[in-house]
Structure 1
Amino acid sequence: MTPEPPARTRQAPTLEAVAELAGVSRATVSRVVNGSLRVSPAAHAAVTRAIAELGYVPNQAARSLVTRRTDTIVLIVHERPDTVFADPFFASVLRGVNQALSVTQLQLVLLQVQGDRQRDRALRYVGNGHVDGVLLISLHGDDIMPMSVSGAGVPLVMAGRLLTGDPVDSVDADNVGGARQAVRHLVATGRRELATVAGPVDMSVGVDRLAGYAQAARDAGLPASATRVETGDFTEASGQAAAARLLAEHPTIDAVFAASDLMALGVLRALRAAGRRVPDDVAVVGFDDAAPAVYADPPLTTVRQPVERLGAEMVHQLLRRIADPTGDAASVILPTELVIRSSA
């Protein structure tokens, strides 16, 4: 019995095979694969059909040599792991980023950075040409990362501005205006002994929300003695601790503006522990309109910021910067909205 010849291994379709099926040159197929606009609509359609029919997959390594693109961007979250996974803000940003990337060919890498060692490792990764651009969230103080990324020639977009004042592409919510809305609402409902649990003063979001609080209090004619400040780190525990300090030192306060919803939840816990009724004795307003705000007891009045839109807009701005590396840095400020519920 004659043995059967071994089965032939199916060869992966080549660029030449796509060109032959589409009836175009190899160069035309290459231009379509690499995203060039110098292709007629008819040729582009023919090549696209041929790629689908043959199941052709571009050689990414070879393509990268030609385009000097990796089709990868990195989202760097400069924060502690417990904060990243506990705060709904980060999940909402990530949803917005993924939504914006879903209509592109770009892949996303997520890096969580805490401390100099992890930061330096992330900078080496970015500087070694692994990504086409960087999205940076939750920067603290005068960290060198933004200027190091920009110095390496890698496009960068930040969530929030740099406290140093250096120009950088950024997207942010109207933190100052949102805090003003919160205070105006508290004053309009008759509150006069206000306090705030501010965010970290080494972050632009913390600085800006505190500035909005202070501006609105001055505009309302409230004396400094009627506006007390404690600081938290955007966590529920820090909000509870800050509110406990406020109540111990200033027992007559009748309203608290917390610079995040998680800190506002901590404020509610501290008020319950102290036997204070919300909003009868003390009104509470948060910032974010994160999912837990609706289920708080009582439901939380808060300033809504469009977090998913922020993530998506960061991607759009990064794509514009990748396409046009020159030009002045741009800052996008997204609107905020006061959402009134039972807590104030």
Structure 2
Amino acid sequence: MVTIKDVAKMAGVSIATVSRTLAEPDKVSEKTRKKVMEAVETSGYVANTLARNFRRRRSNMVVVLVPDIANPFFSNIIQGIERVASRHQYRILLGDTQGEQEREQAYADLVSQRQADGVICLGRNIPFRYRKGRKTLDPDWPPFAMACEYHGEIPVPTVCIDNVAAARDAVNHLLELGHQRIAYVNGPSESPLCEDRLQGYEQALREAGLTVEPALIKQGDFTLASGYDCTAALLAAENPPTALFCANDEMAIGAMQACHAAGLSLPGDMSVVGFDDIGFAAYTHPRLTTVHQPRNRIGEQVMTMMLAMLAGNTPADSRIVLPHELVVRESSAARG
């Protein structure tokens, strides 16, 4: 049976260094970590992780709360989290919460039960009970960070993009193409990011000297079906739009299908712009113009924040805003 002594000999380091590398990889150099991990892999060494974690009161597990695990938007974020976690000998436990606070709190309770060390939330809710009106972090809360949706008053470590600016860029693109009747299919009204994207849509129109028409704003729920239904309603109006901006790509794809069903050509009769740049966006017909979110980087950054907190450090930046990019494809064109 391979022992830690054998691993140390293969790597050319001390037993203490092997132990430190496996227990706290962030406290050794990249060169040392690489040597030790190569020796571990070559030798087939299996550490007694359960016993070690019991002594350290660590599980080396982080709970990741996902509002809807079926939504393809989250897959790349989870990949980024997993990549950084694995590099530091952590594993992730996914919780599909469907946005329900009770389920979020039940998963978060795994930390107090010593089944996890921290919580990353990809939704909009802080997964702990607290009094209404609170504006500070509770020192009794375990390490946790938010990504994507949160912008509340409590200064929770957060990774996101500027959704107002991103939406404004998308609408400005349509305005530059000569469109003036631009409709917006929003997501859930209670979602902070949807509030921001609506704000960006309205800002772009007003800055262009156009009136925001409530009739051109529809409420979806981020699904293909809601994008289809909202667009069908817009097309049935007496004075339909010439362009559509949707709060996510799934609704934009549904919108495109509604246009096809109505006999419209894209982008000849209707330009469509989405948000997120999910994998399917590059394979629609025509290919979807959309706002790209750096989802892998969001995942990597929020897990890096978590590791800092687990090491007893305060993240250098409590709110990291990553850059977005408008990806122009064939679903948008100059007004005919």
C-alpha distance in structure 2 between counterparts of 1:99 and 1:49, whole Å:
17
Rg larger in 1 or in 2?
1
Alignment correspondent of 2:116: 131
Aligned residues, how many?
Answer: 325
C-alpha deviation, 1:57, in angstroms: 3.2
Kindly provide the CA deviation profile for residues 40-97 of structure 1, in whole angstroms up to 9, marking residues without a partner as x.
9999999889877875533223322443322111111133xxxx22x32122212222
Instruction: Say if 1:274 and 1:324 are closer, same or farther in 2 by CA, change over 3 A.
Output: same
Q: Which amino acid aligns with 1:211?
A: Q
C-alpha deviation, 1:285, in angstroms: 0.6
Instruction: Say if 1:223 and 1:67 are closer, same or farther in 2 by CA, change over 3 A.
Output: same
| Pairing 1:48-127 to 2, within 5 Å after superposition | 56-79=45-68, 84-85=69-70, 87-114=71-98, 115-127=100-112
Alignment correspondent of 2:190: 202
Which of 180-189 and 143-152 deviates more? 143-152
- 2:287 aligns to what SS in structure 1? coil
Q: Which amino acid aligns with 1:205?
A: L
C-alpha distance in structure 2 between counterparts of 1:234 and 1:134, whole Å:
25
C-alpha distance in structure 1 between counterparts of 2:271 and 2:73, whole Å:
23
- 1:102 aligns to what SS in structure 2? helix
Q: Which amino acid aligns with 2:65?
A: I
Does the CA-based 8 Å contact 2:234-2:240 persist in structure 1? no
Which of 25-34 and 115-124 deviates more? 25-34
- 1:111 aligns to what SS in structure 2? strand
Q: Which amino acid aligns with 1:96?
A: G
Structure 1, unmatched stretches of 5+, are 1-11
- Sequence identity percentage: 37
Alignment correspondent of 2:159: 171
Please state if 1:159 is matched with 2:143: no
Please state if 1:321 is matched with 2:309: yes
C-alpha distance in structure 1 between counterparts of 2:268 and 2:42, whole Å:
68
Structure-1-length-normalised TM-score: 0.81
- 2:213 aligns to what SS in structure 1? helix
Q: Select 2:228's aligned residue among 197, 218, 240.
A: 240
Structure-2-length-normalised TM-score: 0.82
Instruction: Say if 1:44 and 1:202 are closer, same or farther in 2 by CA, change over 3 A.
Output: closer
- 1:131 aligns to what SS in structure 2? coil
Q: Select 2:278's aligned residue among 290, 298, 301.
A: 290
C-alpha deviation, 1:25, in angstroms: 8.5
Alignment correspondent of 2:133: none
Q: Select 2:237's aligned residue among 240, 249, 265.
A: 249
Q: How large is the RMSD of aligned CA atoms in angstroms?
A: 3.5
Instruction: Say if 1:321 and 1:250 are closer, same or farther in 2 by CA, change over 3 A.
Output: farther
Structure 2, unmatched stretches of 5+, are 131-136
- 1:134 aligns to what SS in structure 2? strand
